[in-house]
């Protein structure tokens, strides 16, 4: 993506070369590949991508892909006074190795430029994210059809069912699925276990990946028939998420959306122990971060308020959304609380 824009930035800033060492999501950003081991060197005029024979050689527009050879360092060690690196991903020891390869170069950080480039998505990126969200939503719908059959018995069964569905539709798993019953759902990042499904709320936080781009969605399911109090918790949170969604407009601060969701929770605001959301794209969590920044066109993000009662239960509702003049919810699965009979 946006290779030319990045090369133009290098030219303007007289950066002779930018080097990326695996692991770095920017490698996938520019090459659309997820290599086992690789070095990517971008100059104002050229992009050279070195991979090992462990990986499949592909053709990528604008990128010269080669296998590592014994003299690979010579291929890169051109004279440059300024060397660009991504300090957000590069390890200290990799930087030290690079300095040996370019002993005279001044090292400059290109991470903020990369962040800006990556934050606003191209049409193609939005298509991939939308498709990932569609696959995720379809998996949820399939789960709602499957649960009454009583073939899924544990949190892990639920997670496997969803992840298996991703593959049926050509997707991959963006991050380990969180399936949480009872008090497990009070831990926002609960590690899906072999806990048995039981009457009550089932939280699922999951997402497919399509052509390296991620979806992120959380839905609540009620196993059995919820009491009025239980419906009340769900409706409180639903309204909080809806209020945040309705507050989205061009230039509104993410922190304002966060405040809106919290205000909507009233006295239960303190039970909402994390941020309202995060940017999403190649990485499940990427820029923008909600502590700064404003809603912009074509920058996808999540809206995910939650309320947690340690040792008891927890609820979260999450959508991946994008603003393009108006808000589009990409994770289209229904947010009406499904009630599954038989528990």
- Residues near a copy of itself, by CB under 8 A: 34, 36, 52-56, 85, 87-93, 95-96, 109, 111, 156, 160, 164, 167, 170, 187-191, 194, 273-274
Q: How far apart are CA 251 and CA 234, in angstroms?
A: 30
Closer to a copy of itself by Cβ: residue 53 or 104 = 53
- Check the CA dihedral 115-116-117-119 and report its sign: positive
CB of 339 to a copy of itself, least distance (A): 28
Closer to a copy of itself by Cβ: residue 127 or 193 = 193
- The answer for residues whose C-beta is within 8 angstroms of residue 317's C-beta and 6 or more apart is 218, 219, 220, 237, 238, 241, 304, 305, 306, 335
Residue showing tokens 């060197």: 41
CB of 128 to a copy of itself, least distance (A): 16
Closer to a copy of itself by Cβ: residue 176 or 232 = 176
CB of 235 to a copy of itself, least distance (A): 24
CB of 327 to a copy of itself, least distance (A): 26
CB of 334 to a copy of itself, least distance (A): 26
- Structural contact between residues 261 and 218, judged by C-beta atoms closer than 8 angstroms: no
Q: How far apart are CA 49 and CA 121, in angstroms?
A: 23
Neighbours of 163 (CB within 10 A): 18
- Structural contact between residues 110 and 40, judged by C-beta atoms closer than 8 angstroms: no
Using DSSP's 3-state secondary structure scheme, residue 146 falls into helix
CB of 206 to a copy of itself, least distance (A): 16
Closer to a copy of itself by Cβ: residue 121 or 209 = 209
CB of 275 to a copy of itself, least distance (A): 10
- The answer for residues whose C-beta is within 8 angstroms of residue 272's C-beta and 6 or more apart is 240, 261, 262, 265, 305, 306, 307, 308
Residue showing tokens 């990528």: 60
Closer to a copy of itself by Cβ: residue 93 or 145 = 93
| β-strand partners of 84 | 18, 108
Closer to a copy of itself by Cβ: residue 122 or 167 = 167
The backbone torsions φ and ψ at residue 152, rounded to the nearest 5 degrees and listed phi first, read -95, 125
**Chain-centroid distance, C-alpha 210:** 11
Closer to a copy of itself by Cβ: residue 169 or 230 = 169
């Amino acid at each position: 993506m946006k290779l030319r824009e990045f090369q133009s930035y290098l030219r303007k800033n007289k950066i002779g070369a930018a080097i990326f060492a695996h692991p770095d999501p920017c490698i996938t950003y520019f090459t659309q590949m997820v290599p086992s081991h690789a070095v990517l060197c971008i100059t104002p005029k050229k992009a050279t991508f070195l991979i090992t024979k462990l990986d499949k050689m592909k053709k990528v527009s604008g990128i010269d892909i080669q296998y590592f050879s014994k003299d690979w360092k010579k291929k890169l060690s051109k004279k440059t006074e300024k060397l660009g690196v991504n300090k957000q991903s590069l390890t200290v020891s990799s930087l030290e190795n690079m300095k040996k390869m370019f002993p005279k170069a001044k090292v400059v950080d290109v991470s903020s430029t990369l962040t800006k480039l990556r934050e606003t998505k191209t049409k193609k990126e939005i298509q991939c994210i939308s498709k990932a969200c569609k696959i995720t939503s379809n998996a949820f719908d399939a789960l709602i059809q499957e649960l009454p059959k009583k073939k899924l018995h544990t949190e892990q069964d639920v997670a496997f069912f969803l992840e298996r569905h991703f593959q049926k539709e050509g997707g991959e798993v963006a991050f380990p699925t969180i399936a949480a019953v009872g008090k497990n759902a009070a831990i926002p990042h609960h590690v899906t276990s072999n806990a048995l499904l039981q009457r009550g709320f089932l939280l699922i936080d999951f997402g497919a990946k399509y052509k390296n781009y991620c979806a992120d969605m959380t839905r609540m399911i009620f196993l059995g028939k919820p009491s009025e109090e239980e419906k009340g918790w769900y409706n409180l949170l639903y309204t909080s998420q809806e209020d945040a969604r309705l507050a989205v407009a061009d230039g509104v601060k993410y922190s304002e959306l966060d405040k809106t969701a919290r205000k909507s929770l009233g006295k239960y605001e303190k039970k909402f122990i994390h941020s309202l959301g995060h940017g999403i794209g190649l990485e499940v969590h990427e820029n923008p971060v909600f502590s700064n920044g404003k809603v912009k066109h074509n920058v996808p993000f999540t809206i995910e308020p939650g309320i947690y009662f340690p040792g008891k239960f927890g609820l979260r509702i999450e959508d991946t959304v994008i603003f393009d003049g108006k808000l589009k919810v990409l994770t289209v699965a229904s947010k009406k609380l499904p009630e599954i009979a038989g528990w």
